[in-house]
Chain A
Amino acid sequence: MSVTAEIRARVHRLTVDDYRRMGALGILGPELRTELIDGEIMEMPPIGHPHAGTVKFIANRLKEAVGAAAIVAVQDPVWLDDHSEPLPDIALLRPRDDYYRTGHPGPADVLLLIEVADSSLHYDREVKLPRYARAGIPEVWLVDLGGRRLTVHRRPAPHGYVDATIPDNLALVPVPVGVPATVDLTRLF
């Protein structure tokens, strides 16, 4: 084992509860955008405008498409397990009267997560997707801005998503909200 691997093996892993307390107590300042992945705090890069604009575009289109059938959350935390609480770009959540004021959504609350990737493509694909799959998140869309490609990942399993498909028509992308719904993402790229 390399000494780097040895250090990694010994790093103290925070729980989601530790991590939230660090935020509440100001140890993680409000200026920081972070997520907790396997007990380690990762810093998110500042959001550039192509990324930010794409997130706004998708979030608004989704809201139009799903109406009251789901809550659209943008860059809010979703917990996956005791040691991971990432910040997906967009989360489509089961409707709840309290809008999750009483607790962040967990895997059972999530219908769909969307990650918009520019420089973060590898991180999203290699680190976040497998963890979403392991937590049983039913569907994830990965928007690759550089490659101008949307991939839809379904059938979560312990090692990743079994199905990855590219929708053949961006004008009619099916949205998993329990009722038949599609979203028009024609001008996504």
Chain B
Amino acid sequence: MNRIAHQLARIHRLSVADYRRMGELGILAAELRTELIDGEIIELPPIGQPYAGSAALIADRLREAVERSAVVALHEPVRLDEHSEPRPDITLLHPGIDGARVGRAEGADVLLLIEVADGSLRYDREVKLPRYARAGIPEVWLVDLGGRRLTIHRRPGPLGYADVMTPSGLGAVPLPLAGLQTADLSGLF
């Protein structure tokens, strides 16, 4: 809709429960890739290359690095609050998570989220990162394919992440796990 309508009227914000029911009832078709942000259903672009390959590479490397100390999920939704359930590219979850909850994870289950951005860099940085911070997600990695850069965001607060850093190399990127494992992301860019 044009933006005038949003300035002049209140859009109805869906709850995560509404949104999930729409999926279960087929109102949101299974082939649609969507996420819920502040009660609005946002369509995710089709997964293309090199984006898909990069996400797969990271997920594989993470699995090798974490072994059984975390669960790696690819493109699974994470519920942040009553009105937001984004679908980060990769989610590192607490190892104790019940298998049935992997697709219904909540903020407290999350150790690390990773967003791989090609055309979506601004959306990931300006829309999703602040919401992850507000929900207390402890760490987010933003992979900027266009800029060939990985940034690590830590110390979530109400306004965003207080710490942003670029790892010195991609051969041993530290993972937020008790065992101090690192992921080898050489060849990511």
**A residues within 8 Å of B by Cβ?**
3-8, 10-12, 14, 18, 21-22, 25, 27-28, 32, 34, 37-43, 45, 120, 122-123, 126-127
Contact = CB atoms under 8 A, between A and B. Distances in A.
B8 A127 contact: yes
11 contacts: A3-B126, A3-B127, A10-B43, A11-B42, A22-B18, A27-B18, A28-B12, A42-B9, A120-B9, A127-B5, A127-B8
Contacts of A38: 1-2, 5
B123 A6 contact: yes
Interface of B: 1-6, 8-12, 14, 18, 21-22, 25, 27-28, 32, 34, 37, 40-44, 122-123, 126-127
Contacts of A41: 11-12, 14
Contacts, number: 90
Contact of A21 (B9, B25, B123): B25
Given A6-B123, A27-B21, A122-B8, A12 B32 contact: yes
Determine chain A's interface SS by DSSP, over half rule: mixed
A39 B10 contact: no
B128 to A, nearest CB: 11
A127 B40 contact: no
B22 A22 contact: yes
Contacts of A10: 42-44, 123
B141 to A, nearest CB: 20
